[in-house]
């Protein structure tokens, strides 16, 4: 399934049905009179967050969504049937934005959340409703009121407890594959990950959801590389796990670059607690790792944890920190908002526990 996190759609509620003009004409009844019924109400536009969805790809092929119009009234004072509501199913984490993307109209943060967006038009009055002592045979009636329509943007922000950030090739995909059953693509070239990945991590009898987003580079906030488009997927995270490639040319510069891009993006990302992990520790000796960690602390980092996403060394210490920040859920609980095909791999083997450098 292709991943799509933004889509523009056009929605319109149903028009109300017209009222009827009708008169009783029955044998043996001397005076008939008007008996035209009212029209039915048009259908509403309703958004509903459901489980089983984690992309907006369906809206690429169905962009115009309309509710059913109400049926017209009929004789014998019969009211027309109301139009069927159009329920638009979206993933948990979806926001409905105005056409200019300046205003958040609806925000879906839990499964089953349902919101009325556009009301259908009211049905028109039939001629029976116009009858009076001075107007015994009215022929006037009302057409149904028109429905409402709008063009809106849907934007998906995945629901995750913790988010992975770092430069391209920092080892984020390798890590999420190791700690969960995610199948993120891994390659020795930049931007192997081109859309967010989710994985459910089990640790010490608890579980939390981890999100991996494409790597950031200098100028991402201005559109460089893949840009900052996917940073919205970690706005709801409680903590960020910042990975730095220990084998890179300048780990301190890498840390500063990502930190700067988070600050320039806004959305409260710079204020979120961060866990700094020096990745690919299996490729360097302890002395060199200590030296890099010291440089990072001198640049302003508070705590640096050594980690190997490939072998799992130091993973327990890092996951302990993440679990402390997010709280986690019992392993027997269902992570309802992620019931989108992500199963939990319960066979997590013991890994060596390293202390911070």
Phi, psi of 338 (to 5 degrees): -120, 30
> Is 309 marked as binding a ligand?
yes
Contact between 161 and 237 under an 8 Å Cβ cutoff? The reply is yes
| Cβ neighbours of 238 (radius 10 Å) | 15
Is 280 known to sit in a ligand binding site?
yes
Flag whether 169 is marked binding.
yes
Q: Is 205 annotated as a binding residue?
A: no
88 labeled binding residue: no
Residue 166 is assigned to a ligand binding site: yes
Q: Has 174 been labeled as part of a binding site?
A: no
Is 194 annotated as ligand-binding?
yes
According to the annotation, is 215 in a ligand binding site? yes
Other residues' Cβ atoms within 10 Å of the Cβ of residue 133: 5
Q: What's the longest Cα–Cα distance across the chain? A: 109
Q: Is 101 annotated as a binding residue?
A: no
73 assigned binding-site residue: no
* 356 annotated as ligand-binding: no
Distance separating alpha carbons of residues 40 and 17, to the nearest angstrom: 5
268 labeled part of a ligand binding site: no
Which of 304, 309, 268, 271 is CA-nearest to residue 289? 304
196 is in an annotated binding site: no
167 is in an annotated binding site: yes
Look at residue 76 and give its three-state secondary structure.
coil
Annotated binding residue 277: no
183 is in an annotated binding site: no
Pairing of β 162-165 and β 149-156: unpaired
Find out whether 327 is annotated in a ligand binding site: no
Asked whether the CA dihedral 233, 238, 240, 241 is positive or negative, the reply is negative
Instruction: List, as residue ranges, the binding site.
Output: 166-173, 191-195, 212-215, 279-282, 308-310
Instruction: List, as residue ranges, the binding site for GTP.
Output: 166-173, 191-195, 212-215, 279-282, 308-310
Instruction: List, as residue ranges, the binding site for Mg(2+).
Output: 173, 193
């Amino acid at each position: 399934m292709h991943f799509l996190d933004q889509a523009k759609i056009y929605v319109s509620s149903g028009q109300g049905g017209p009222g009827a003009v009708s008169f009783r004409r029955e044998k043996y009844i001397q005076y008939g009179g008007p008996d035209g019924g009212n029209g039915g109400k048009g259908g509403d536009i309703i958004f509903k967050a459901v489980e089983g969805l984690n992309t907006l790809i369906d809206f690429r092929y169905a962009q115009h969504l309309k509710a059913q119009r109400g049926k017209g009234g009929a004789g014998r004072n019969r009211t027309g049937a109301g139009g069927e509501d159009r329920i638009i199913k979206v993933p948990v984490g979806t926001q409905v934005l105005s056409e200019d993307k300046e205003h958040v109209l609806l925000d879906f943060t839990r499964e089953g959340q349902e919101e009325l967006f556009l009301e259908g038009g009211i049905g028109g009055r039939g001629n029976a409703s116009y009858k009076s002592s001075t107007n015994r045979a009215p022929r006037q009636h009302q057409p149904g009121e028109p429905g409402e329509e709008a063009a809106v943007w849907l934007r998906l922000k995945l629901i995750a407890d913790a988010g992975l950030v770092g430069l391209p090739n920092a080892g984020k995909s390798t890590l999420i594959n190791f700690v969960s059953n995610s199948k993120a693509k891994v390659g020795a070239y930049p931007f192997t990950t081109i859309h967010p990945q989710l994985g459910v991590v089990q640790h010490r009898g608890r579980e939390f959801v981890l999100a991996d987003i494409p790597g950031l580079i200098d100028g991402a906030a201005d559109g460089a590389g893949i840009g900052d488009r996917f940073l919205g997927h970690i706005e709801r995270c409680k903590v960020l796990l910042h990975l730095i490639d220990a084998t890179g040319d300048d780990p301190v510069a890498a840390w500063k670059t990502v930190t700067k891009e988070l600050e320039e993006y806004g959305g409260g990302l710079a204020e979120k607690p961060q866990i700094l992990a020096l990745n690919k520790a299996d490729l360097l000796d302890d002395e060199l790792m200590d030296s890099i960690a010291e440089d990072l602390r001198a640049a302003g980092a508070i705590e640096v944890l050594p980690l190997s996403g490939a072998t799992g060394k130091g993973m327990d210490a890092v996951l302990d920190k993440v679990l402390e920040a997010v709280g986690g859920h019992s392993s027997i609980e269902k992570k309802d908002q992620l019931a989108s095909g992500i199963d939990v791999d319960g066979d997590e083997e013991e890994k060596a526990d390293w202390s911070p450098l």
